[in-house]
Amino acid sequence: MAGSYVENDRQSYRQTAKPGGQGTEYQTPPGSSDDDVHDNLGLHHTTIWCFLAWLGSQSAALTVGRQQVQQHHPGSTCHRFLGAVAPQKFRSPQREQRLRTSRQLLHLITEWEGLFPHQPFFPRFATRSGFT
């Protein structure tokens, strides 16, 4: 969902959390009635930003991940992807940088998983490298 948000210039956090107008819902915990947790069942739109903010803070993992990809596949252009984000999606340079880094990392992860199918970027590579 985070990737969908940064890739689509016109998509909002709310639209991302409810694709096609349908919310992402959680199951009711055992022993609870639907009435007890009804308001808390869906994915809240702010969760998308929280995840993007966390991804955007992973600049060290992005740098080392790029190095690993380029060592394994010298023809990779992952280091050239700037990760530009639509200007209406941020109001501060800090938020722009977080969104750019998030987008760059999501693109790198796609390439990483194609090159290293048995070594997922998260959690295996990034956590073992101490970058989370």
For 99, residues 6+ apart whose C-beta sits below 8 A from its C-beta are: 6, 52, 56, 83, 85, 89, 90
C-alpha span between 75 and 11 (Å, rounded): 32
**pLDDT for position 34:** 54
**pLDDT for position 114:** 93
C-alpha span between 7 and 9 (Å, rounded): 6
Please state the pTM of the whole predicted model: 0.78
**pLDDT for position 21:** 60
| pLDDT tens by residue, the chain, 132 residues | 889 999 999 999 888 888 766 655 555 666 665 555 455 556 788 899 999 999 999 999 999 999 999 999 999 999 999 999 999 999 999 999 999 999 999 999 999 999 999 888 887 666 655 655
**For the chain, what are the domain ranges?**
2-16+39-129
Q: Quick check: helix, strand or coil at residue 91? A: coil
Provide the β-strand partners of residue 25: 42
